[in-house]
Structure 1
Amino acid sequence: MNLSTFFTAAAISASAIFSAQSVASETSLPDLNGQVIVAVTENAYTPLNFIDPETGNGIGWEYDAFNEIANRLNAKVDWQLSSWDSMIQAVKQGQFDVGMDGITINDERKKEIDFSVPYMISQQFMLVRQDESRFSEHTSFAKDSDLLIGAQPGTTNFYVAVYNVLDGDENNSRIQLFETFGASVQALKTGDVDMVLMDASSAKGYMGANPGTFKLVGDPLGTEEFGFILTPGSKLTPAINAAIKSMQEDGTLEALNQKWFFDYQH
């Protein structure tokens, strides 16, 4: 799936796909015979995973996607929560079977854990306040030493800020660190920082949730692939990969894009 496809509206609704295509795919996918898959997320990365303010339950693109994967594989999901900074290690140690949090597939992480095939391809953009006029791309941002970036340590957003926008110093004081991604966006909203780097998918979610508050500026700063993380050597990996591929082929992933990045109003 490329980015142009990623932002194309689905031709049919998610509910129609799930009812028709899931059944059609069952015969060609592995059968896990009701196995319980312990899945972990953070609930802090809108619209991939976050708390529904009305119900207090975790919802989002990744919840829908992985619930559908389990359905196609005849498995059940036991949802658990973890902070971002401990998630990869916890999955590596087998505390959870699979983790998700908009996690970028890269070689360094592959040394620690296994990845599924990519379920989403996105790019990093500069999210700013709607009334921002001091800069319009990353070079003009970098030149103004008074401007601050909000970031969550250890994330792709943080490293792009360090190496693609600023000077390569991971201790640069212009990067303000926050425990969660949502906290960095809140700091942007209140004026405590001036820019947050964000993949295009989440940017759509935050702009939809806060009409007239944010905008994107500048060109994309790199492309990233998101994947589910699994315990090294997990027997679940090929089954999950097969389910993801079936969801790409039948349009389910496009329908989820439509639901969470275009139709849903938080």
Structure 2
Amino acid sequence: MKHPLKTVMLLSCFGVGLGLAGMANAQDQALDVVTDPSFVPFEMMDQDSGEMVGFDIDIINEVAERAGFEINLRTMDFNGIIPAVQTGNVDIAIAGITITEERAKIVDFSTPYYDSGLRLLVGANDDSIATVEDLEGKTVATKIGSTSFDYLQENLGDSAEITPYPGSSDMYMALLGGSADAVFYDAPNVGYFSQTQGEGRAKTVGPLYEGQQYGIVLVKDSEWLEPVNEALAAMKEDGTYDEIHTKWFGSASEE
């Protein structure tokens, strides 16, 4: 009678061990994901809940569920995001990050998940600026580490005073406060500001510059690149992506 009891006890311990191992494996699937807290409506802090919300947040949550990992979400200034992924301090980043050849040398990008570009924002009553060329001799605000900052430097050089700010809210306040003549930044963020806090005080002008695509950023040679790409493809195939897009921007066909 002793041997069956021992067998039961051994099997029970073995089962508990498997359960603990399973829990450990599940915990191993939690990835550090970083975003920029000020790139509305892609990512922003909900003042009521204290949680991050936005288009990118909905996208990464859906991707994580389909790809099979949990998220430890962190925020930091945009300028530090690529270095954080490059050094492996975080696993994944999503923050309206433009796919560029230079960045792709040090991190991996998912397939593109959003088409964007750069756009000018000026005061509501300012008719002196209509294109980037009109910024010569003026002060233009943009964001540190962004492709808009690179574009201004390459196309204007010293002919304009280019002032980079750490947060998008800072550059918009510079425009409204008179410290800058214009803002040059990602089109969806600029457009969102002009229709919300900047309504009646600022307007977008000129064409869409330098068509861009956003990608999810991963550590170089990440094992999660393929699962992330598969999740994005499935979301577009079954209509989930369109639902998220409509929630934050309206129908894709209306853009």
- How high is the TM-score relative to the length of structure 1? 0.78
**For residue 140 of structure 2, what is the aligned residue in structure 1?**
149
1:237 to 225, 229, 239: 225
Q: Any gaps of 5 or more consecutive residues in structure 2?
A: 1-24
**For residue 47 of structure 2, what is the aligned residue in structure 1?**
53
What's the CA shift for 1:224? 0.8
Distance 1:229 1:255, change over 3 A: same
**For residue 41 of structure 1, what is the aligned residue in structure 2?**
35
Identify which range, 203-212 or 41-50, moves more after superposition: 203-212
1:207 to 184, 194, 204: 194
What's the CA shift for 1:100? 1.6
Q: C-alpha separation between the residues in 2 aligned to 1:255 and 1:198? A: 26
Give the residue type in structure 1 aligned to 2:171.
S
Q: Within the alignment, does 1:111 sit opposite 2:98 as a pair?
A: no
Partner SS, residue 86 of structure 1: helix
What's the CA shift for 1:173? 6.0
Give the residue type in structure 2 aligned to 1:184.
M
**For residue 165 of structure 2, what is the aligned residue in structure 1?**
178
More strand by share: 2
What's the CA shift for 1:253? 2.5
Q: Any gaps of 5 or more consecutive residues in structure 1?
A: 1-31
1:192 to 160, 179, 182: 179
What's the CA shift for 1:107? 0.8
Q: C-alpha separation between the residues in 2 aligned to 1:51 and 1:130? A: 27
**For residue 118 of structure 2, what is the aligned residue in structure 1?**
124
Query: Which one has the largest radius of gyration?
Result: 2
Give the residue type in structure 2 aligned to 1:51.
M
| Structure 1 contact 160–221 (Cα < 8 Å) conserved | no
Q: C-alpha separation between the residues in 1 aligned to 2:188 and 2:90? A: 25
Distance 1:188 1:261, change over 3 A: farther
**For residue 255 of structure 1, what is the aligned residue in structure 2?**
243
What's the CA shift for 1:188? 1.4
Q: Within the alignment, does 1:138 sit opposite 2:132 as a pair?
A: yes
| Structure 1 contact 205–260 (Cα < 8 Å) conserved | no
How well do the aligned residues superpose, as a CA RMSD in angstroms? 2.0
Q: C-alpha separation between the residues in 1 aligned to 2:202 and 2:47? A: 20
What's the CA shift for 1:257? 2.4
- How many positions carry a matched residue from both structures? 225
Give the residue type in structure 2 aligned to 1:251.
G
Q: C-alpha separation between the residues in 2 aligned to 1:54 and 1:128? A: 31
Give the residue type in structure 1 aligned to 2:40.
T
Q: C-alpha separation between the residues in 1 aligned to 2:193 and 2:114? A: 18
More helix by share: 2
Matches within 5 A, 1:2-81: 35-81=29-75
- How high is the TM-score relative to the length of structure 2? 0.81
